[in-house]
Chain A
Amino acid sequence: SQQGEEDPQALSIQEGENATMNCSYKTSINNLQWYRQNSGRGLVHLILIRSNEREKHSGRLRVTLDTSKKSSSLLITASRAADTASYFCAFMEYGNKLVFGAGTILRVKS
């Protein structure tokens, strides 16, 4: 069973800056999801992008999906200290298993 690859593994930025994290996968997918995990709120769904969508926005979040490159990126604009968390991509693997990426640890310094 594969695990999605995410990079960078860790990212440290100043408040107000943008953060970009990437996810790559190997199978064909119907959709790809992004989740955030921090100690206060646990694992929370952020956004879902379908395979026929190239870009999707939700507040300060922008997700892109390139099915030809089998990759997705999550952009957080104007980051805040409260964005400090681990971010995971997730997708369905062949055999109907939900696979999570290894995660990107984001630290936003105030």
Chain B
Amino acid sequence: KAGVTQTPRYLIKTRGQQVTLSCSPISGHRSVSWYQQTPGQGLQFLFEYFSETQRNKGNFPGRFSGRQFSNSRSEMNVSTLELGDSALYLCASSTGGGLTYEQYFGPGTRLTVT
């Protein structure tokens, strides 16, 4: 099976802009979750989607949003970018059990906000 894919791999944006990141889960996986990784805060959970519905949410402001499509592919959007949003954004997929089960991670999207 193909692994989790994320596009784009690298992105440079300017403060105030918005960005959309894409994630394609492993075939058959219905749970997709997103994480932000920074040197200062480490790995932090953003949200999880299952069957096109947000099932769990982390402690991030409303500027961070996501959605999931009927084919389980997911997108994450960050509006009004801030310098502190520079990070590696990781997507993971899992079986229906979601976060309590093994997460399969994609390679990540490296976002730089200038």
Closest Cβ–Cβ distance, residue A31 to chain B (whole Å):
6
Is the CB of A92 closer than 8 A to any CB of chain B?
yes
Task: Kindly identify, within residues 36 to 54 of chain B, every residue whose CB is under 8 Å from any CB belonging to chain A.
Answer: 42-45, 48
A contacts with B: majority SS:
strand
Is the CB of A44 closer than 8 A to any CB of chain B?
yes
In the complex, are the beta carbons of B103 and A98 less than 8 A apart? yes
Q: Which chain B residues lie closer than 8 Å to A42 at the CB level?
A: 90, 105-108
> Which of A98, A101, A103 contacts B45 (CB under 8 A)?
A98
B contacts with A: majority SS:
strand
Closest Cβ–Cβ distance, residue B110 to chain A (whole Å):
12
Interface size on A, residues (CB 8 A): 23
Known contacts A96-B99, A98-B45; A43/B105 CB under 8 A: yes
Is the CB of B64 closer than 8 A to any CB of chain A?
no
Residue of B nearest to A100 (CB): B43
Is the CB of A1 closer than 8 A to any CB of chain B?
yes
The CA-CA distance from A83 to B107 in the complex, in Å, is 18
Q: Which chain A residues lie closer than 8 Å to B56 at the CB level?
A: 95-97
Closest Cβ–Cβ distance, residue B12 to chain A (whole Å):
20
Q: Which chain B residues lie closer than 8 Å to A25 at the CB level?
A: none
In the complex, are the beta carbons of A45 and B103 less than 8 A apart? yes
Residues of B bordering A, CB below 8 Å: 33, 35, 42-45, 48, 55-59, 90, 92, 99-108
Please name 8 pairs of A and B residues whose Cβ atoms are closer than 8 Å in the assembled complex, sorted by A: A30-B100, A43-B92, A88-B43, A92-B99, A98-B103, A100-B42, A100-B45, A103-B42
